[in-house]
Structure 1
Amino acid sequence: MRKIIMPIVVLVIMMTMFKLLVEIRPTPMAKDEEKEIPFVEIVEAQKILMRSSIRTHGTVRPRTSTTLIAEVPGIIQQVAPFAETKSSSTSFRAGGFFKKNELLLKIEDINLRTAKAEALANLRRAELHWMQEQELAKQAKIEWGERDWNLAPELVRRVPQIEKAIAETKAAEARLTQASLDLNRSNVRAPFEGRILKTMADVGQQVGAGASASLAQIYALDAGEIDLALSRSELKFLGFDDGKGDQNNSGVKAHILDENENIIHEGTLDRSEGVVDPRTRLTKLVALIQKCFANPFSDSSPTTPLSVGQFVDLRLLGREVQTFVIPESAFRTEDQILILEKDNRLRTRKVSVLFRTGKEVWVEDGLKDGDRVCVTPLEIVAEGMEVRISEETLESNQTTP
Structure 2
Amino acid sequence: MGPARVSRPASMPPEDERRSPPPDESPLQVIGQLAGGIAHDFNNILGVIINYARFAQGSVPPGSPAAADIEEIKRAAERGVGLVRQLMILARRESGATVVFDLNELITGLDGFLRSTIGEHITVERRLDPGLWPLAEDPARIEQVLINLAVNARDAMPAGGTLTFETGNAELGPAETAAYPGAEPGRFVRLLVSDTGVGMDSEVAARAFEPMFTTKAAGQGTGLGLATVYTIVTQVGGLVDLSSQPGRGTSVEIHLPASRSAPAVPTRPTRAAPAGRGEAVLIAEDDEAVRRVAERILETAGYRISSCPGGVEALELLDDRANGFDLLLADVVMPGMRGDDLARRAVAMRPGLHVLFMSGYSDDTPPSDLGPTAGRVAFIDKPFDAGALLERLRELLGG
TM over 0.5: no
For the aligned pair, the TM-score class normalised by the smaller chain equals under 0.3
TM-score scaled to structure 2, two decimals?
0.19
Q: Which has the higher helix share?
A: 2
TM-score, with structure 1 as normaliser = 0.19
